[in-house]
Every structure is written in structure tokens, then in C-alpha cells.
Amino acid sequence: MFQTLKAQAPDKILSLMQAYKADDRDTKIDLGVGVYKDASGNTPVMRAVKEAERRLVAEQTTKAYTGLAGDPAFADAMIDLLLADTVQRGRIAAIATPGGTGAIRQALEMVKLAAPGATIWISNPSWPNHASIIKFLGLPLREYRYFDEASRGVDFDGMIADLSTVAEGDVVLLHGCCHNPTGANPTLDQWDQIIATLQKVQAVPFVDVAYQGFGDGLDQDAQATRKIAAAFPNVMIAASCSKNFGIYRERTGILMGIARDADEAKLTQANLNFLNRQNYSFPPDHGARVVTTILTDPALRADWEAELEETRNGMLGLRKQLADELRQRANDDRFDFIADHRGMFSRLGTTEAKVEILRADHGIYMVSDSRMNIAGLNAETVPILAQAIVDAGI
């Protein structure tokens, strides 16, 4: 049977991880996969996570199954973190999922069940796995303009023009904050216009929030999602705890489905539970329980928020330092966008050939579309990157 298999194209982010590992230069710099690293290049276990895990190990009395949707306390805590009191709890169905990717996959499977003909619209560019999963499920896919190559900001006019052509009932995937891969995000005023446009065409928003707390702060990063959640009868939201809790390998995420009313929410919940059952029965529990422990304990939550703020401010500092270095070394302000971008990534906006020069000549690894992980830098490597960018004629 297996001889009939076709080779699969490698995921460009994950294959970069392998290439970086295989490079034996000790000056190499990893700006590839979206994993936070501190100044010494470690991806630490957050203090509050360590403490929550210690408590779980000491106090947990069973490893018996949870419900198909996962622990309801996790859903409540995550809905509170992301949506606060924007939407009545009775209108929200939710399932725990294996990471943000699991939530995206389940959301797209929901579209298959509920609206099999609907086209899924994603930003151009978007996280590569979005298109990959949509195609894998055989769903119609289209792109809306998003990135302005010249300014490296949002091509807002192009975005609105394309979203105006979306058909009724189509699903529009939006990055709630910290756009991956570009780092460019709409302003809150622009979000209002995006919402008005999507309301007019009667689209269904699908928000992917993988970096809450990495941009302008936990509440600020939730503002666009909250506006969307409040504005439509049906919304899907996929949220990841991988980055903001630093629990990547625990696979902790959630899919929320906002329904018109409590009856529709029950039907939605039953379908979400069914999808979990079909795909993996019960979602992973450990990471979800760690998150719930942190979010429901005021002292642990305060400590988590403080460490997340340090992380966020560290990345902002690196952005500013890199923009400053480039302004000096290139004698030009065309890289100032790096300080304006938010989240873990910035798209430098250069060719694959120049990205390859950075890798071959300088051991600097970024994704071929010139997405760089800002958290892969530190105060010492910023000037090295800035000089390499100038030397490569970017």
C-alpha cells in the first residue's frame, strides 16, 4: 500500500529548524520557527507554569478521562481571558484542542459539516499551514490582499476591496493580533471598517489568536477579537496557549464557536464534541489544566502576566534596537517598520535569494519569505543582523 504514496512537500518553517540544527557554525542565528527565546537562546518554562505543574503533580488524584470538550473550567478561563464579557457565555460553545493547529483543523472541519460549499479566505500572506490544512480538507480557498510590500504595513485598501467581494456565508480567516508572518496589523479603526465590510457581505469571521500578550498587552491584543465577537451572529475563534504560556509541546489550544443563541450553542457544542471524538476522542489535558490553574489563582496569574510582560517588552526593545541599528548602518529610515510591527515576527520584505545569502554567508536563518523571529535575537546579535542585512544589499 505505502508504495503508492507521493512525497509531501516539506513544511518550510519546520525544515528550516532541521537545517539550523545541522549547521555547525557557532555564530549561527536562528530567526526561524516561532518559538520564544530569552537573551541566552533558551526557551524557558515560565515560573507560573513550573509552579502550576508542581501543584498538579502533588494534588492530582486521577488521570481518568475528562469530557470530550475537555475540562469546562479551561473553556471558562480561556473565554474570560480572550473575550472577557463581550459575549454571553450561553452563546459560546468550546472544545479544548491539541494546540492552536488542532483548533484550526477542527474549525475547518466544522465548516465542512455546516457549510460545505463555503470558500475560506485567508490573508496573502498567511501562516503556511492555514492554506495547507484548507487544501488537505478539500475546501475552496481564496486569498485577500493584506501586505503592502513597499511600506511593509497593511495594504488596507486592497484588503477592504477584496473582502468586499466575499460571498455570503464564506469564512474569512483573520489574525486577531500579531499577524504571522508579516508582523503588520490593522489599527482598531481599521478593524471597525473590516468588520463593517464583513457584515455587509455577511461573511463568517474565523479568528486565529496565537500570540495574545506578545503585541501590545493581553487586553490590547484581544481588542480586535472582542470587537468581532460582538458584531456577528456566528464567529469561530482558534486560540493557542503555546506561545503566551510557553507550553509548546503540551499542545494546548481551544476552539470557540459563537452561536446566535443558547439553543444554537448547544447544537454547536454537540458538533464540536463529535469532531473531537472522531479525531482523537479526548483532547490533551495537562497543558489545559496548567493554564486553568494559572488563570484562576490570583498570585500565579499575576506572576504569569508579569513574566509575559517582560517577554513582550524584551521583543519590543529588540525591534527598536534593530530599527535603530539599521537606520544608522543603512543611513536610511526604510527599516523603521520593524519597530512598528507587533508580535514575534517581522517580514523583512526581500527576495528568497537574499534570504539565502544571509543563511549561506552569515549563518542567519529566516523563513524564505523573509519572515524573521524577533525573539531569536539578543542585544549582541542585533548589530550582526543589521550589518548582514546592509552587506547583502537588502
**Binding positions for ligand LMR, rule: CB under 6 A:** 13, 33-34, 127, 180
Complex with ligand LMR: residue 91 or 130, whichever CB lies closer: 130
Q: How far is the CB of 18 from ligand LMR (least distance, A)?
A: 13
Active site residue 304: no
Sign of the dihedral through C-alpha 255, 202, 130, 110: positive
Catalytic residue among 243, 339, 375, 392: 243
Instruction: Give every CB contact of residue 178 below 8 A, 6+ residues apart in sequence.
Output: 185, 210, 211, 214, 215, 221, 342, 343, 344, 345
Active site residue 243: yes
Complex with ligand LMR: residue 170 or 369, whichever CB lies closer: 369
Q: How far is the CB of 143 from ligand LMR (least distance, A)?
A: 18
Complex with ligand LMR: residue 205 or 253, whichever CB lies closer: 253
Residue nearest to ligand LMR (CB): 34
Complex with ligand LMR: residue 133 or 322, whichever CB lies closer: 133
The residues with which 254 forms a beta bridge, in sequence order, are 96, 239
User: What span, in angstroms and rounded, lies between the C-alpha atoms of 272 and 278?
Assistant: 10
Complex with ligand LMR: residue 152 or 251, whichever CB lies closer: 251
As given in the structure block, the three cell numbers for residue 356 are: 539565502
Q: How far is the CB of 159 from ligand LMR (least distance, A)?
A: 21
The CA–CA distances, whole Å, from 322 to 99, 318, 347, 374 equal: 31, 6, 13, 9
Catalytic residue among 30, 148, 162, 208: 208
Instruction: Give every CB contact of residue 275 below 8 A, 6+ residues apart in sequence.
Output: 95, 106, 109, 110, 113
Complex with ligand LMR: residue 69 or 308, whichever CB lies closer: 308
Residue 180 burial class via C-beta count within 10 angstroms: exposed 0-12, middle 13-18, buried 19 and up: buried
Catalytic residue among 121, 127, 191, 304: 127
Catalytic residue among 210, 239, 265, 339: 210
Q: How far is the CB of 33 from ligand LMR (least distance, A)?
A: 4
Q: How far is the CB of 160 from ligand LMR (least distance, A)?
A: 26
Active site residue 63: no
Active site residue 210: yes
Segment holding 206, helix H or strand E: strand 204-209
The CA–CA distances, whole Å, from 153 to 178, 339, 341 equal: 12, 11, 8
Segment holding 171, helix H or strand E: strand 171-175
User: What span, in angstroms and rounded, lies between the C-alpha atoms of 108 and 136?
Assistant: 10
Residue 43 burial class via C-beta count within 10 angstroms: exposed 0-12, middle 13-18, buried 19 and up: exposed
Q: Which residues are catalytic?
A: 127, 208, 210, 243
